[in-house]
Structure 1
Amino acid sequence: MYRGQTVGVVMPAYDEEGFVGDVIREMPDYVDRIYAIDDRSTDGTWREILEAAREDAGAGADVDSDRDAADETPLLTDGGASALSARATVRDPIGRVVPIQHHENLGAGGAIKTGYLAAREDGVDATVTVDADGQMDLSQMPRLLDPIAEGDADYAKGNRLLSREYRAAMPRFRFVGNAILTFLTKIASGYWKTMDPQNGYTAISGDALEAVDLEGLYEYYGYCNDLLVKLNVQGMRVADVAMPAVYGDEESSITYSQYVPKVSTMLLRNFLWRLKTKYLVLDFHPLALFYLVGAAAAGVGVLGLTLLLGAAFSSLVPAIVGGASSLLLVLAGVAFLLFAMVFDMAESEHLEQQVY
């Protein structure tokens, strides 16, 4: 327990043999529950989770690491017919470790979702997400928990971009990709001050887990971006916490040729859903119309310019006149979009804070 709050840690693991055991052993004493999710690894990750759990609990704990997950009792919720029991099986807790194994590989977002469902079912006050590869400094966990314990935030996330020292430690290709996704996520989520959305070191309150649609959480690597959109629609407060990252022997499993288009498409879909839900369904704000009118005007203007360029040499004067009209449409569209962004920033400004 940390400052009167029960603390759970969700730790997704896929082929993390050689790393996951150390992370479990090094988990701070104030952590009450460790939800270690094996995402159907092909190596010895499951055995290592069980062995580390035994060590963490004490030598007297009874662990049969050869026992298959199919022999375990499903983690039942809602009378046994829940999203959680349908996707995973679980051993009885070994000390504070709850070993969970997916029926099939669901990816990083799927494992986080499983852990969140389990933490919500247990009524944990604050749930932290920690990677199983040892990249995250566990001594920094209180910095994520403090905004929640103090009632200042519903969700706290690490941010490697707030400090020059932290930015310098990040590999260049990760920094560039992160910067692009940061900008896209600002637009999609409405949290315009929040950066480094791909940072997986986070903490979320029990109230926030209850408020968002966990069952509908995106199950690919963009789950953290998707969660921010859902949090914004529910009016949840977010704290951006300066946080270092440790890059060691681990290798990223992200295939960027698939990752970028998938997450970008998801962000566009989420952006439109947020506008509809927050500013048209739950309440009304004209910024939704500014966005729509601006995008339409800019799109028509760009299309007009493209078509007129092809006809410019055959009919120069009409092309110039039409080009001017199309250019005005583009400029008007951009102006509408900028107005919408300014309104959007103002609407969510009170929901954001940065912790250095």
Structure 2
Amino acid sequence: MTGARDAADGGAHPAGDAVDEAAASAFADEYGMKLPPIAVVIAAYDEERGIGEVVRSIPAAVAGRATAVIVVVDGATDKTAAIARECGAKVCDVPVNRGQGAALRLGYRLAREGGAEFIVTTDADGQYDSEQIPRVLAPVLDGEADFVTGSRLLGRQETYDRVRRLGVHVFAWLVSRMTGQRITDTSFGLRAMRAEVTGAVTLRQPQYQSSELLIGVISRGYRVREVPATMRLRAAGATKKGGNLVYGFRYSRVVVGTWLRERRGASASPAPGRVPGSPAKTR
């Protein structure tokens, strides 16, 4: 899912804040502010052909903890919001298309303010296997990690695009070198984390937010793990990320910009929110 804007290091935006406030208020009025322990956050833009199956595939509970599905519809022009509601999701229907990063930030906020203890993210296009949600969540629920991401290189990927496959390796190498931690997949969309982590890291990107979040949690000393997972071919619709060269250029700007920002801020403030006694190194 991709929005219209891109920035290497975009900042907070008064207009964006107003959009978020209005959307969060409408969401609270419709659903109240009490969520179960696990919130599955999905950003969706014109995904009417795939969103229903994705929502229906989310397990109702994981390890005995109930789940709720929050779909943030990012200025869609189709029936994405209506179909997600029909399938049981709690829908935050934002009238402006701002990008996946902005939609996920709003979803994180809704989950935290609703009292969710854990957040899972997945995509609206069916590329991730919802049956693997318990696998991704397990280290967080067991207190072994603060942030867990799936990895197609440790697991399996079905894409035939050699350039994209190469890009996964290149960005994994780059982020590993920058952060000093071995990472095999920087952009996998199926992730799990303690809810408070999303409020402690700096998230500004309207797009390509996966690498910003990953570099942020590593830089702030949170316990990070990767688990094997599957990247399937898109089940419906078309990718909105653009061509390989454009995507690679923009993604690299976010990676480098986030790393530089985190380095500048590292000496200014300690890592917040880490579990007491937990190691700063990732696993």
- Band of TM-score, shorter chain: 0.7 to 0.9
1:281 to 246, 268, 279: 268
The structure with higher relative contact order (CA 8 Å, sep 6+) is 2
| Contact 1:187-1:271 within 8 A present in 2 as well | no
% same residue: 28
1:199 to 153, 174, 188: 188
2:65 maps to 1:20: no
| Contact 1:16-1:45 within 8 A present in 2 as well | yes
Once residues 235 and 217 of structure 2 are traced to their aligned partners in structure 1, the CA distance between those partners, rounded to angstroms, is 34
| Other-structure match for 2:204 | 217
Once residues 103 and 187 of structure 1 are traced to their aligned partners in structure 2, the CA distance between those partners, rounded to angstroms, is 40
Once residues 232 and 120 of structure 1 are traced to their aligned partners in structure 2, the CA distance between those partners, rounded to angstroms, is 21
- Cα deviation for residue 248 of structure 1 reads 4.2
| Other-structure match for 1:117 | 109
| Contact 1:40-1:102 within 8 A present in 2 as well | yes
2:183 maps to 1:253: no
- Cα deviation for residue 235 of structure 1 reads 1.0
SS at match of 1:243: strand
2:81 to 46, 51, 69: 46
Larger Rg: 1
Once residues 173 and 257 of structure 1 are traced to their aligned partners in structure 2, the CA distance between those partners, rounded to angstroms, is 9
- Cα deviation for residue 183 of structure 1 reads 2.1
Write out per-residue CA displacement over residues 252-285 of structure 1, whole angstroms, 9 at most, x where no aligned residue: 211134322222222222222222222x4347xx
The two structures, once aligned, show a CA RMSD in angstroms of 2.0
| Other-structure match for 2:146 | 154
Once residues 48 and 143 of structure 2 are traced to their aligned partners in structure 1, the CA distance between those partners, rounded to angstroms, is 37
2:226 maps to 1:240: yes
Q: Which amino acid aligns with 1:15?
A: D
SS at match of 1:34: strand
Write out per-residue CA displacement over residues 203-252 of structure 1, whole angstroms, 9 at most, x where no aligned residue: 11023123223xx431112x111112221232111110110122144332
| Other-structure match for 1:229 | 215
Structure 2 segments unaligned to the other structure (5+ residues):
1-35, 271-278
- Cα deviation for residue 350 of structure 1 reads 5.4
| Other-structure match for 2:281 | 351
Q: Which amino acid aligns with 2:55?
A: I
| Other-structure match for 1:133 | 125
| Other-structure match for 2:25 | none
| Other-structure match for 2:13 | none
Aligned residues: 233
145-154 vs 106-115, greater mean Cα deviation: 106-115
| Contact 1:191-1:352 within 8 A present in 2 as well | no
- Cα deviation for residue 191 of structure 1 reads 5.2
Write out per-residue CA displacement over residues 21-77 of structure 1, whole angstroms, 9 at most, x where no aligned residue: 111122211142211111111222122112222xxxxxxxxxxxxxxxxxxxxxxxx
| Contact 2:127-2:235 within 8 A present in 1 as well | no
Structure 1 segments unaligned to the other structure (5+ residues):
54-96, 284-348
- Cα deviation for residue 124 of structure 1 reads 1.0
- When normalised by structure 1's length, the TM-score is 0.61
Once residues 110 and 47 of structure 1 are traced to their aligned partners in structure 2, the CA distance between those partners, rounded to angstroms, is 21
| Contact 2:41-2:120 within 8 A present in 1 as well | yes
- When normalised by structure 2's length, the TM-score is 0.76
Once residues 102 and 224 of structure 1 are traced to their aligned partners in structure 2, the CA distance between those partners, rounded to angstroms, is 21
